[in-house]
Amino acid sequence: MPAPLRRLAVVQVTRSRPEAAAYNTLVQGLNARVAEVADAAGWLVENIAAEDEGVESLLARTREADAVVIMGGEDVAPRFYGGPAEYEGRSTHREVADAGQIALVRRAVAEGTPLLGICRGAQIVNVALGGTLQQHIEGVGEHRNDATEITAVMRDHDVRVAAGSRLARVLGSTDVVVRSAHHQAVDRPGTGLRVVAVAPDGVPEAVEHESAPVIGVQWHPEDPGA
């Protein structure tokens, strides 16, 4: 009898952004890419939109997942990390999604469920554990292209990964080139987290938990150009 498929919950922010159709197309393409790669690797993938669920429903729907990926999207609402409500580059906030994804991270840490946060997902990991965010990076052009077309915002840059970290073991290197598009980043790491990758300008690019199998990367490994 074949082994049962492992279940992967891919948790995005929302399926619909009528006010930002081009951005939504980009985000949905990245979500689909994760699902395609995971499916090819033998995972049973469920793609869930946190905003559609609310906290309790999201926790219930992901209860049987063997692993979780929290995807990118809009800025995390500042009230979740004690930041000013107004800041440069402010995006739409989706607080229902924030609350649900924060709850997912906390459960993953408590129960030892493998969890990967991508871009905003890395920031959610940090905020969930009491960390704070840099609300707008000085020199943001090193981390995203200032492009008119949303499809051109991704930017390649170097990252140094901490030797001995789980992330370095997964990547097989401490020097990597990543593909990113972000204007925020981890500021103070949350409880149990440490920064394990930085960009040349010192901006944190990845965090991992000291004991739980939880990692957040600020870049987009799922981008087709990565």
Active site residues per annotation: 119, 220, 222
Return the structure tokens found at 191: 């409880």
| 179 Rama sector, left if φ>0, alpha if ψ -120 to 50, beta otherwise | beta
Ranges of H-type helices in 94-160: 95-111, 120-128
Contact 102, 130 (CB under 8 A): no
Strands of the sheet with 193-198, listed across from one edge:
43-49, 6-12, 67-70, 115-118, 214-217, 204-209, 193-198, 155-161, 175-180
| Cα 81–Cα 212–Cα 60 angle in degrees, nearest 5 | 75
Kindly state the DSSP code that residue 144 receives in the 8-state scheme.
S
The residue behind tokens 């997902």 is 121
User: In the beta sheet, which residues pair with residue 204?
Assistant: 198
Structure tokens at 158: 């170097």
Q: How many angstroms separate the Cα of 84 from the Cα of each of 100, 120, 206? A: 21, 18, 23
